[in-house]
């Protein structure tokens, strides 16, 4: 397991190489997902209320993530048998089958490498999300307190936005695709020279030469 020179990984870093044990067998991250995006999300513990609602919410959108060629991987410091019993409980009582793997990190090595153990929260992993692209590069890191569940629709939106930005060389406005100024349009990167700046307002819809947008 590769650590980032004694620090936790940051946006733009390669996701640390690690071999993990999951409810679906061993997994090598990030190499097993080369060519696909993946989301690793940690939760404080199995059989906890907020985490249970999150797992159901992730599974309800699993097909949407798959369409984006994006895999899901859960994580906590619980043992694998606890994970198995928990997903059985979810299936039996909530009628939702969890189809993505959950990492068992009972020794805490993965959590330590990713900076997921809060010193004031005991041994439980914090509620975090790592969005990783097809090259194993961390594109976003989100942290949540134990009392606030994640908005899974926002995580879907982020993956869609990253993929569109990568393909088209554009940026996403606030609340995209329902921005208050430009709707579902995307933002053109600001001009880097005078000549391009002069052409911008003729080529795109612009509020000024540095704030132009277009439809995909």
Encode pLDDT of 43-97 as tens digits.
989 999 999 999 999 999 999 999 999 999 999 889 999 999 999 999 999 999 9
Geometric angle at alpha carbon 40, from 37 and 46, rounded to 5° = 150
Same domain, 39 and 128: yes
Domain end point (choices 93, 119, 150): 150
**Does the residue 159 lie in any domain?**
no
What's 196's domain CATH number? 3.30.1020.10
**Does the residue 102 lie in any domain?**
yes
- Within the chain, where are the H helices? 49-60, 62-67, 80-94, 109-114, 152-168, 194-203
**Does the residue 99 lie in any domain?**
yes
Same domain, 40 and 127: yes
Nearest Cα to 132, choosing from 31, 15, 2, 7?
15
Tell me how many domains the chain contains.
Answer: 2
The strand pairing partners of 179, in sequence order, are 183
What's 134's domain CATH number? 3.40.30.10
| Pairing, β 37-42 against β 25-29 | unpaired
Q: What residues are labeled active site?
A: 51
How does pLDDT run across 1-57, given as a tens digit for each residue?
444 545 789 999 999 999 999 999 999 999 999 999 999 999 989 999 999 999 999
116-133 average pLDDT score: 79
Contact 90, 83 (CB under 8 A): no
Domain that holds residue 108: 18-150
Same domain, 175 and 141: no
**Does the residue 1 lie in any domain?**
no
| Cα–Cα dist 115/109, whole Å | 10
């Amino acid at each position: 397991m590769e650590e980032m020179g004694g620090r936790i990984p940051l946006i733009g870093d390669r996701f640390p190489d690690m071999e993990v044990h999951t409810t679906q067998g061993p997994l090598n991250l990030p190499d097993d997902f080369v060519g696909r995006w993946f989301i690793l999300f940690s939760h404080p513990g199995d059989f906890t209320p907020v985490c249970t609602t999150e797992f159901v919410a992730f599974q309800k959108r699993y097909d949407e993530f798959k369409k984006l060629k994006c895999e899901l991987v859960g994580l906590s410091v619980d043992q694998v048998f606890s994970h198995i019993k928990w997903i059985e409980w979810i299936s039996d009582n909530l009628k939702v089958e969890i189809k993505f793997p959950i990492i068992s990190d009972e020794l805490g090595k993965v959590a330590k490498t990713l900076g997921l153990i809060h010193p004031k929260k005991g041994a439980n992993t914090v509620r975090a999300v790592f969005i990783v692209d097809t090259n194993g590069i961390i594109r976003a890191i989100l942290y949540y307190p134990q009392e606030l569940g994640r908005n899974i629709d926002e995580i879907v939106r982020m993956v869609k936005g990253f993929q569109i930005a990568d393909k088209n060389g554009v940026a996403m406005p606030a609340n995209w695709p329902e921005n208050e100024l430009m709707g579902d349009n995307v933002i053109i990167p600001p001009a880097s020279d005078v000549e391009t700046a002069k052409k911008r307002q003729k080529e795109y819809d612009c509020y000024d030469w540095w704030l132009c947008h277009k439809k995909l």
